[in-house]
Amino acid sequence: MTTFEAYLDAHSGTLLNEDMVTILSNIAEATRQISDKLRSSSLSGLTGATDAINIQGETQKPLDILSNEIMLEACRKSPAVAFAVSEELDAEVLIHPAGEYAMIFDPLDGSSNLDVNVTVGTIFSIIEASSAAEILKNGRSQLAAGYAAYGPQTNLVLAIGNGVQIFTLDQHGVYVMTTADARIAPETKEFAINAARRPSWDDVITEYVDGSIGTPGYNMRWVGSMVADTHRIFNRGGIFLYPADRSKPASGGRLRLLYEANPIGFLVEAAGGSAIAGKTAILDIEPTSLHQRVPVIFGSRQEVAKISQAYCIARTIE
Ligand code: P6P
């Protein structure tokens, strides 16, 4: 069985340099620590909420803060990391001034699900950035991206430029490759959307969802944890939709570009799927701010194509 470290070593000197191997190894170790903290959180009092509000306007949970600190420690242990960008922090943090990379992450996505024991995750992206100005670059410039899914199993999903590999944490704390070159099924009849937000959808999304519900065989899943919904799509196909609010299109929606949409979009495209924000591929969006939000639609490419084509037609009609 191939371990995570063996996989990195096998690509050291080709897809990865030594700095990237160090960074990814430290991220893997951070996810092991976060997984460990999650498993015993009810026993160690790491549940509930704090009085703190993050830059997103969300109440921080103890595990949000702890996971963020664990990821920052992974940055500190990686001499090549110049900057850390976190969902939990207002601005980029200078880590090693001589570094050449930025580690961009959502340390604990879906944390509103923690107290009800639903799968949550850590999402990460690595880009070249030796100055703060270089952080705002489009998603196609990512060198690596991935997520850890903390569920019944702990999985680490990684793309470094040659497809997507899925690793599973074993009882000894070793990440073992359990899926090589994961592919997203091109077709699906399973869609994921928060149907309670229907009043905010534009006509394209409304017509797609209403048409799907009316078509035999279609089913809906919505976990409320992006990593959980993403991992299901990697395993059996599907389409995930978090569109913009049509009354506030400039707001971009709920999900953040740099540490949610871009890394997930990088993984999805590497597995043969599609990731769009409407007419535009997510990875082509030029960021304007660290915490910028974008509409997110990704998954089985033939299903995503129905929506991107509908947006093209709709835009033509305007
Ligand atoms: P809603 C979690 O807070 C998150 O950012 C994603 O992980 C998840 O897909 C989405 O928000 C859930 O949003 O509006 O259904 O609560």
Q: Whose CA is nearest to atom 16 of ligand 1?
A: 224
**Ligand 1 residue neighbourhood (C-beta within 6 Å):** 109-110, 112, 194, 224-226, 254-255
**Residue that wins the pLDDT comparison between 229 and 43:** 229
Distance from the alpha carbon of residue 116 to the mean position of ligand 1, in angstroms:
15
Please report the pLDDT score of residue 280 as a whole number. 94
Residue 108, annotated as binding a ligand = yes
Distance from the alpha carbon of residue 194 to the mean position of ligand 1, in angstroms:
9
Q: Whose CA is nearest to atom 3 of ligand 1?
A: 110
Residue 18, annotated as binding a ligand = no
Q: Whose CA is nearest to atom 9 of ligand 1?
A: 226
Q: Whose CA is nearest to atom 10 of ligand 1?
A: 224
Question: Is 108's pLDDT higher than 60?
Answer: yes
pTM for this prediction = 0.95
Question: Is 40's pLDDT higher than 90?
Answer: no
Which two structure tokens, joined as six digits, stand for 255? Answer: 């999900």
Question: Is 153's pLDDT higher than 90?
Answer: yes
Q: Whose CA is nearest to atom 4 of ligand 1?
A: 110
Residue 190, annotated as binding a ligand = no
Q: For residues 249-257, give the mean pLDDT.
A: 90
Question: Is 315's pLDDT higher than 70?
Answer: no
Q: For residues 288-300, give the mean pLDDT.
A: 97
Residue 251, annotated as binding a ligand = no
Please give the share of the chain, as a percent, with pLDDT higher than 90: 86
Lowest mean pLDDT segment, chosen from 53-62, 282-291, 303-312: 53-62
pLDDT-based confidence at residue 127 (cuts at 50, 70, 90):
very high
pLDDT-based confidence at residue 252 (cuts at 50, 70, 90):
confident
Mean pLDDT of the chain: 94
Question: Is 318's pLDDT higher than 60?
Answer: no
Q: For residues 52-56, give the mean pLDDT.
A: 74
Distance from the alpha carbon of residue 281 to the mean position of ligand 1, in angstroms:
21
Please report the pLDDT score of residue 237 as a whole number. 98
Question: Is 134's pLDDT higher than 90?
Answer: yes
Question: Is 216's pLDDT higher than 80?
Answer: yes
Q: Which atom of ligand 1 is nearest to the CA of 229?
A: 9
The DSSP code sequence of the chain is --BHHHHHHHTBTTTB-HHHHHHHHHHHHHHHHHHHHHHTTTTTT--S--S-B-TTSPBPPHHHHHHHHHHHHHHHT-TTEEEEEETTSSS-EE--TT--EEEEEEEEETGGGGGGT--EEEEEEEEE-SSGGGG---GGG-SEEEEEEESSSEEEEEESSS-EEEEEE-TTS-EEEEESS----S--SEEE--GGGGGG--HHHHHHHHHHHTSTT-EE---S-HHHHHHHHHHH--EEEEPPPTTSGGG--SSBIIIIIHHHHHHHHHTT-EEESSSSBGGG----STT-B--EEEESHHHHHHHHHHHHHHHHH-
Q: For residues 133-141, give the mean pLDDT.
A: 98
Q: Which atom of ligand 1 is nearest to the CA of 223?
A: 9
Lowest mean pLDDT segment, chosen from 22-26, 42-46, 147-151, 203-207: 42-46
Residue 260, annotated as binding a ligand = yes
Q: For residues 169-173, give the mean pLDDT.
A: 97
Q: For residues 231-258, give the mean pLDDT.
A: 94
pLDDT-based confidence at residue 49 (cuts at 50, 70, 90):
confident
Distance from the alpha carbon of residue 110 to the mean position of ligand 1, in angstroms:
6
Question: Is 43's pLDDT higher than 90?
Answer: no
Q: How far apart are CA 239 and CA 175, in angstroms?
A: 28
Question: Is 48's pLDDT higher than 80?
Answer: no
Q: For residues 196-211, give the mean pLDDT.
A: 96
Please report the pLDDT score of residue 317 as a whole number. 57
Of 254, 260, 293, 294, which is best to mutate to test ligand 1, by the most ligand atoms within 8 angstroms of its C-beta?
Answer: 254
Residue 194, annotated as binding a ligand = yes
Which two structure tokens, joined as six digits, stand for 22? Answer: 């160090």
pLDDT-based confidence at residue 130 (cuts at 50, 70, 90):
very high
Q: Which atom of ligand 1 is nearest to the CA of 58?
A: 3
Residue 207, annotated as binding a ligand = no
